[in-house]
Amino acid sequence: MPEVVELREVTDRRDVIHRAVQRLSAGELVALPSEAGYVVAGFALAERVGSRIAAANSTVALLLRAADETADFLPHLSPVGFRLARRCWPGPLVLRASANLANGFWQALPDGTRTAVAVNGELSLRVSSHPVLSEVGKLLRGPLLVREIDGWPADGKFEHAAWRDIVLVVNEGSTAVPATSVVRVDEHGWTAERLGALNEQRLQLAACELLLFVCTGNTCRSPMAEALCRHLLAERLKCSPQELTKHGFAVASAGLAADFGCSASPESVEMMRRRGIDLKAHASHPLTDRLIEHADRCYTMTNHHRNAILETHPETAGRMQVLARDGTDIFDPIGLGWDHYAACAASIEQHLAKILDELL
């Protein structure tokens, strides 16, 4: 029977976390809470752990420290797979994809670990958001193997034979949270093998290619660019703007100095109305680190906007462009009257047509 630590009764979680790390480092199995139920965990670099953690009809996944480690084990993962990892991790998602079992990181794992986690040439990965499981994983010098636990004992007694190999249970109490969502990714897209804490709509949005348009206040140029892009893209894909996510695209806009919730300028609303687009519901949004991180393609109205973003986020250089295809700035028509707004909208539409030619 394993040792049971009641997490709700300890004064310092760090003691429990370090105790779990010590047991795992010694090649023992530990039961830990996760953001979606409990898991049996074992240190992936320890010999013979893989054979002991594997169980019939249960998936064993590699628990990574962070989403940016995905490429170490799945270097040829599709863009959709990397988007799901970037936007859903840490969180209740198991990502499954074909693995190159000859890469260096994979070959560094013991034979038992590779046998347990590679099924039919596919590898399952996850990154936890639970404060205990996540911290335990970060303190180890390699990934964890984790397997979800079925039949957690309601009476708190761990006497069944299934617990024989587990030396430590970190008990957080009974859980009534949804299970992890399991998604298989290949070159054709993604398929939900199990919907759980992440529903189909959330996964569909996370898998989309996000086109982001940025100006200063998000009340004039970038809202028009967002609205026009959504309209023109839907025309080319022969769908409604509301159906773009089903075709793998999402469109958004933001401002470097924007407030939350401001309406688009009256002139911008009128320019879009003339094109059959309703911009009345627009609410301004400041450019956040999260938006920058999630954007697959970011189009700024001016070079100043682009340079300002790159100053704080240089890693986005490959995804950051000015909207104008000739590298010039889209002028700000605010306060300049209807004719300037009309010229600005026409210029944005002209450059968007070229962008969509490249995109599609």
Q: Tell me, what CATH number does 349's domain have?
A: 3.40.50.2300
215 among known catalytic residues: yes
221 among known catalytic residues: yes
Which of 146, 140, 336, 300 lies closest to 215 in space, CA to CA?
A: 300
Residue 178: pLDDT above 90?
no
Residue 100: pLDDT above 80?
no
In a shared domain, residues 8 and 49: yes
- 63 compared with 177, residue with greater pLDDT: 63
Distances (CA, A) of 4 to 55, 160, 264, 286: 22, 14, 58, 47
**221-238: per-residue pLDDT in tens?**
999 999 999 999 999 999
Residues 6 or more apart whose CB falls under 8 angstroms from that of 198 comprise 88, 91, 92, 93, 181, 206
In a shared domain, residues 75 and 190: yes
Is residue 203 assigned to a domain?
no
Residues 6 or more apart whose CB falls under 8 angstroms from that of 80 comprise 185, 189, 190, 207, 248
**258-312: per-residue pLDDT in tens?**
999 999 999 999 999 999 999 999 999 999 999 999 999 999 999 999 999 999 9
Give CA–CA dist 21/138, Å, rounded: 10
**Chain centroid offset of residue 74 CA:** 15
In a shared domain, residues 38 and 167: yes
Tokens of 171: 């008990």
Catalytic pick among 88, 208, 215, 229: 215
72 among known catalytic residues: no
- pLDDT given at position 226: 98
Is residue 175 assigned to a domain?
yes
Average pLDDT, the chain: 91
- pLDDT given at position 119: 83
Percent of the chain with pLDDT over 70: 94
- Identify how many contiguous H helices and E strands the chain contains and give both numbers: 13, 15
pLDDT band at 102 (very low <50, low <70, confident <90, very high): low
Give CA–CA dist 87/81, Å, rounded: 10
In a shared domain, residues 104 and 241: no
Question: Structural domain of residue 13, as residue ranges?
Answer: 3-198
Lowest mean pLDDT among 45-54, 147-156, 178-187, 254-263: 147-156
In a shared domain, residues 93 and 128: yes
Catalytic pick among 96, 126, 147, 221: 221
Residue 156: pLDDT above 90?
no
- 42 near 24, Cβ under 8 Å? yes
Give CA–CA dist 33/322, Å, rounded: 46
In a shared domain, residues 49 and 166: yes
Is residue 279 assigned to a domain?
yes
